[in-house]
Amino acid sequence: MPVFSELIGQNEIKARLKGFCELSSGHAFIFVGPKGIGRHSFAKKFASVLLCSGPADSRPCGKCRSCICLREGSHPDYKEILPDSKSGIVKTDTVRKALVGDIGMMPQLSEMKVYFIDADSLNEQGQNVILKTLEEPPEYAVIILSVVSASAILQTVRSRAVLLKFGLYSSDEMKAILNSHGYVSDRMTEFYSVLSGGIPGVALRMIGEEGYGELRRETIGVAEKIPSAAYDKIFLDVLPFFLENKLYVTDIIRFLTSWFRDAAVMAKDKGSKLIVNTDQRGKLIEYCERNGNHDLKYMRCVTICDRCAADLELNAAFEICIGTMLLRIRKELSVNA
């Protein structure tokens, strides 16, 4: 019986992968879920079970040559096809060489071969190359395509693969994951855990990376500035903050969303325990007093932020998206706008 118990949550996916391991059926999988949800960790664990040569009821054994090689990153039967570091895309040539040119050769160490493909930046040409392989895959090969959205994958490829969708983690699961990474529960880990929206990779990055406290403080400063800023100041004073921190824009929008959601809660009940920015209670009370105790307008700001995040995900023009978001928030909150 293969073991996935070390991984927290995603019980349905674990049950299905377990089923596939036992039956050795299914040759291609599409792992779908947001960045940081754990698609790669699950793929690696799935591969370790498939490749392990230990007793069938205790895979992965962690001790056989296969388990050791996989852990050390030198397993000849496990390949990762990743985007080119310069262009950021998975080159069609790489797919040809690492997958098509390799899959016909028998496994060297294990009974199977596993290919993990970071498919978000895999273009149509690259997917068509994979398609030919998926039409007649060798018995021993398993291909895992990993993407944020299933729509990134051609229908012809999708129809030949098993789609597994990763769900967001509950707060108890998030706590367990953060604990397993050595973070004890305190006010800040809980804050980032909620702010991440149930995505462990996001919470871990925010907790572990220096500078997030500062980024959050600056974002709160921006939220405070918007309602009273003159029209041109939005472009002169506020927009540059987003341009300078373009790489972190998703996190900045998360901070903003949490701020407005909290303002909506506080507008109705100053003593509410439901807010996320618990260390900013005083500032939030002032904010609501200054900009009006109307929960609905703060909720509309949340919607404006969500819309901006969704547009950016679809690669909409950065400055236009952010500029539009800022002006719409200003219009919502400003008495003079």
Binding site for Zn ion (CB under 5 A): 52, 54, 60-61, 64, 67
Distance between CA 278 and CA 244 in Å, rounded? 27
The DSSP code for 196 is T
Query: Smallest gap, in angstroms, from Cβ of residue 111 to Zn ion?
Result: 12
H or E stretch covering 260: helix 249-268
Locate tokens 């220096």: which residue? 210
Q: Which CB, 2 or 227, lies closer to Zn ion? A: 2
Nearest-angstrom CA–CA distance, 226 and 260: 12
Q: Which two tokens stand for residue 6?
A: 């070390």
Structure tokens at 75: 């397993």
Tell me whether residue 32 or residue 67 sits nearer to Zn ion (CB atom): 67
**Cβ-based nearer residue to Zn ion, 108 or 123:** 108
Distant-in-sequence, close-in-space partners of 317: CB < 8 Å, separation ≥ 6: none
Nearer to Zn ion by C-beta: 60 or 198?
60
CB of 143 to Zn ion, least distance (A): 21
Residue 63 CB, nearest approach to Zn ion (Å) = 6
The least distance separating Zn ion from the CB of residue 54, rounded to whole angstroms, comes to 4
Shortest distance in whole angstroms from residue 65 CB to Zn ion = 8
Smaller CB separation from Zn ion, 75 or 216: 75
DSSP state of 96: I
Q: What are phi and psi of 291, to 5 degrees?
A: -105, 5
